[in-house]
Amino acid sequence: MSTVARLVLMMLLLAAAPVAGAVASAAEPTVPESAVPEQPAPEPSASEPAKAAADPPAEAPKAEAPKADIPAAPPRPNGTMESICLILESAAAANGLPLSFFARVIWQESRFRPDAIGPMTRRGHRAQGIAQFMPYTAEERGLLDPFDPVAALPKSAEFLAELRESFGNLGLAAAAYNAGPGRVRDWMAGRSGLPAETRRYVRAITGLSAEEWVEIGRSGRDGIAEKTSCTTLAALLKQQPSMFIGELERRVREGAAQPWGVQLAAGFSRARVLASYAAIERRHRAMLDGRDPVIIRALLRSRGSSAFYQVRVGAETRTAAAALCADLSRRGAACMVLKNSRGVIETP
């Protein structure tokens, strides 16, 4: 699992992680932020964007006004639903994408269905999964399983961010995601046309035509500045129940149920804590591979209402946690073995 995928999963588990009442558990020592070396956040890939699907899916989503996909005033979701929408929010934030834009791209691609399979192209390939990666594109981007939404969504956001850098704005990035970067470049150079399905796709997501996005160019006026709340996005997810929701709920429950943890980062700044964990995960990927991280958010009596964040990887027994921490320590990583608090699942 990539570093970005692990960060997304941490954000997913945050909303379902135990909160120790109003204070931190007495069995857990207060770990100062300085106790964990702060590392810079992982740098984005400098590689050129891989080509997307050569042919658009046969059954294209019907063009809609961009704001029609997401209800304006939905009821506030429960804690589990809010944790589910955080995976999209986190992937978008990690790659500098507006959440509303990223959510609409995924909605247009698959209606949030992780088992979606596109029609066969002339080359004999089918787009796969929630982000509709072609098999060769998934391989080029290091996505082992396009049908795993926890891994596919961060890769999708990363790809869109690279396309925006390449083409200059979000609208043309969406066009390239749908039709392929090569086809969009040929269209912009006057060598070919742009498929009608791609034109509908761009307008449904952004509210503007592909030609308008060419005029916008690299002006910095992406035109998608509104912020979609987690509550609103959760309502959109609820409209289309899918295997995606069930799988993420399972990951939330399992991550929160581990009785012991190896703490790898802690502090009062969530961003710094996540960056510290990301650096540790990069250095010790072989040891941490397959271990889902959990964020525990506690309120410390000495700091009033300030949240204290702790990133841990779970273990079923104290012995297992101690063995992992010992191995990490021998390789230069700071860690602590702690018993996870048994709080209630956070609700709004």
Same domain, 235 and 103: yes
Highest mean pLDDT among 11-25, 180-194, 250-264: 180-194
What average pLDDT score do residues 177-206 get?
91
pLDDT digits (tens, 9 = 90+) for 65-93: 443 344 444 444 444 345 446 677 788 88
> Which residues constitute the domain of residue 340?
3-42+251-345
Same domain, 260 and 234: no
Same domain, 133 and 107: yes
Same domain, 278 and 333: yes
- Tokens standing for 52? 């997307």
CB-based contacts of 221, cutoff 8 Å, min separation 6? 169
- Tokens standing for 297? 């958010």
pLDDT digits (tens, 9 = 90+) for 309-344: 888 888 889 999 999 999 999 999 999 998 876 433
pLDDT at 290: 66
Average pLDDT, the chain: 71
Helix, strand or coil for residue 180? coil
Domain boundary among 210, 239, 268: 239
pLDDT at 219: 73
Same domain, 232 and 255: no
Same domain, 256 and 333: yes
Same domain, 18 and 99: no
| Domain-embedded: residue 33 | yes
Phi, psi of 314 (to 5 degrees): -80, 160
CB-based contacts of 139, cutoff 8 Å, min separation 6? none
| Domain-embedded: residue 195 | yes
| Domain-embedded: residue 277 | yes
Same domain, 276 and 228: no
Domain boundary among 239, 264, 287: 239
How many structural domains compose the chain?
A: 2
Q: Which of 80, 28, 83 is nearest to 342 (CA)?
A: 28
β-partners of residue 309 are 267, 297
| Domain-embedded: residue 28 | yes
Measured CA angle at 11 (ends 29, 249), to 5 deg = 105
pLDDT at 336: 92
pLDDT at 2: 53
CB-based contacts of 31, cutoff 8 Å, min separation 6? 263, 266, 267, 310, 336
- Tokens standing for 79? 């804690």
- Tokens standing for 181? 């970067």
Please, are residues 103 and 233 in contact by the beta-carbon 8 Å criterion? yes
Domain boundary among 218, 239, 260: 239
pLDDT digits (tens, 9 = 90+) for 205-226: 888 999 999 998 877 666 565 5
Helix, strand or coil for residue 222? coil
pLDDT at 343: 38
Same domain, 224 and 255: no
- Tokens standing for 205? 């997501």
* Full strand arrangement of the beta sheet holding 260-267: 293-299, 307-315, 260-267, 336-339
List own/partner pairs for 185-188 with CB under 8 A and 24 or more apart: 188/214
Please tell me what DSSP assigns to residue 33: G
B/e letters for 292-326, b = 16+ CB within 10 Å, e = fewer, are bbbbbbbbbeeeeeeebbbbbbbbeeeeebeebbe
Same domain, 28 and 133: no
Same domain, 111 and 217: yes
| Domain-embedded: residue 61 | no
Report how far residue 55's alpha carbon sits from residue 180's, in angstroms, rounded to the nearest whole number: 8
| Domain-embedded: residue 24 | yes
CATH label of the domain that carries residue 113? 1.10.530.10
| Domain-embedded: residue 64 | no
Please, are residues 333 and 278 in contact by the beta-carbon 8 Å criterion? no
| Domain-embedded: residue 158 | yes
Same domain, 232 and 281: no
pLDDT at 5: 53
